[in-house]
Amino acid sequence: MSKPVVILGAGLSGLSCALHLGQKIGYGLYEKEKTVGGLCRSVSQDGFYFDYTGHLLHLRQDPSAALVRSLLGKNLNHLNRNSCIYSHQTFTRYPFQANTYGLPSKVVKECVLGFLQARLKPRKQSGNFYDWVIANFGSGFGRHFFFGYNEKLWTLPVKYLSSGWVGKYVPRTTVEEVITGALSDQTKKFGYNATFWYPKYKGIQSLSDALAARTGHVNLAESALKINARDKAVLFSSGRVDHYQRLVSTMSLKELLNMIEDLPAAVRKAAGHLRYNSILNINLGVSPTLKNDKHWIYFPEKKYPFYRIGFCSNFSAYNHPRNTSSLYVEIAGRPGQWDGNTGDIERQVKQTVALMRQIGLLERDSKIITVRNFVIEPAYCIYDQKRESSLKVINDYLRTRGIHSIGRYGAWEYSAMQDALNWGERTATSIKEDLC
């Protein structure tokens, strides 16, 4: 079979690429799973809709925001973020760097003093995340939030982590905001996710399904196995071979490179430098309804294995049965940590439930009525000192072979659903310009 464009993966970036290629250029879209959506998927179990961990829409104003609205129509809730941090047995508002009010005074003093010292004596920055935090927020905020939280999330000492990802994800604060938030319960909204959208019905899967309904045919349960980049051909699990002019891959960049026959040694070496973590996502259905009205909570302290817990029943009244609540827990680990390790996963679930009872997030009479675990791997592509130079070697090679590796894992980046939609659109536009 010969197609101008072959797209691998029907997550948001692959689906969006197909949508924007439209009818003008023939393409084949292949997905290894039996359903579309990639990470933007949900399963229904015992009346609960569980996402592959919380997936909230933080929409910037660009054409993909309009696309999401048109796809979901009335199936959208618009919510004001209600999130916080739990540390020193205290809940404080998000973000930590603007809201220390309520913490022990010693902690508040360390944070505020460190921040002022950082402002008074600007430091030269090395590019690593540790130095970036010290320069922008000071040692107190580092010690009480940034270092612990990020080491848990990225599973890497903060001195090995680069600051290349912080962009929109870490809100900056002024002296006035830090002081106001130390002396009072500051209600000012910070950051890109101060408000968010979420489907009313059927979880985040409804977005992927709506998008897939607008694209052409998706070949499900069809895995790419091998790529001959010289002859421009892909071999699939069914034995089918497709020839292409342009290949769009949205699978993990490491997986793509592993499939390419005759990969140059320098590119293989660069691929070996790409690091990632995995996430164990525990989803719980609880009865009766919890009193908690939070959307999610961050846990910077080492004594808690999870870095974040979210309450999905607070995103929509229709993603769980009556008189119940649902929540998700995220624990980061090394690649392969949970492969076939059901014993460890069960231990994590038990420990999580016990710690949530201890903190008071599960009330005395709360019963766990359903559990669903997902292992997400790769989950976060790690921004270390070798990431950028390795990506340059890899992308220079892929360009010469007519391969576009896009999306969160194809581009090997820390990005969101809207970015995936934008990747798809940009790639389709550039392919149309080249081939039409």
Ligand X SMILES: Cc1cc2nc3c(=O)[nH]c(=O)nc-3n(C[C@H](O)[C@H](O)[C@H](O)COP(=O)(O)OP(=O)(O)OC[C@H]3O[C@@H](n4cnc5c(N)ncnc54)[C@H](O)[C@@H]3O)c2cc1C
Q: Which residues sit at the interface with ligand X, rule CB under 6 A?
A: 8-14, 30-33, 38-40, 53-56, 223-224, 250-251, 255, 279, 330, 376, 379, 407-409, 415-420
Whether 186 contacts 95, CB under 8 Å: no
Q: Which CB atom, from 377 or from 384, has the smaller least distance to ligand X?
A: 377
The whole-angstrom separation of Cα 6 and Cα 175 is 52
Q: What share of the chain is helix, strand, coil (3-state, %, to 5)?
A: 35, 25, 40
Whether 244 contacts 233, CB under 8 Å: yes
Closest CA to 99 of 185, 197, 192, 9: 185
Task: Please name the residues in contact with 226: beta carbons below 8 A apart, sequence gap of 6 or more.
Answer: 234, 235, 259, 261
Q: Which CB atom, from 155 or from 366, has the smaller least distance to ligand X?
A: 155
The whole-angstrom separation of Cα 432 and Cα 436 is 5
Backbone phi, psi, residue 214, to 5°: -95, -10
Rounded least distance, CB 251 to ligand X, Å = 4
DSSP 315: T
Q: Which CB atom, from 103 or from 259, has the smaller least distance to ligand X?
A: 259
The whole-angstrom separation of Cα 134 and Cα 411 is 29
Rounded least distance, CB 337 to ligand X, Å = 15
Q: Which CB atom, from 110 or from 413, has the smaller least distance to ligand X?
A: 413
Rounded least distance, CB 224 to ligand X, Å = 4
Rounded least distance, CB 236 to ligand X, Å = 8
Rounded least distance, CB 247 to ligand X, Å = 12
Respond yes or no on whether the N-terminal peptide bond of residue 378 is cis (omega within 30° of 0).
yes
Please report, for residues 13, 54, 55, 408, the alpha-carbon distance to residue 418 in angstroms, rounded to integers and kept in the order given: 9, 15, 11, 10
Rounded least distance, CB 215 to ligand X, Å = 13
Q: Which CB atom, from 181 or from 310, has the smaller least distance to ligand X?
A: 310
Q: Which CB atom, from 286 or from 312, has the smaller least distance to ligand X?
A: 312
Partners of residue 384 on adjacent β-strands: 161
Rounded least distance, CB 422 to ligand X, Å = 10
The whole-angstrom separation of Cα 84 and Cα 94 is 5
Q: Which CB atom, from 90 or from 395, has the smaller least distance to ligand X?
A: 395
Rounded least distance, CB 114 to ligand X, Å = 30
Q: Which CB atom, from 28 or from 148, has the smaller least distance to ligand X?
A: 28
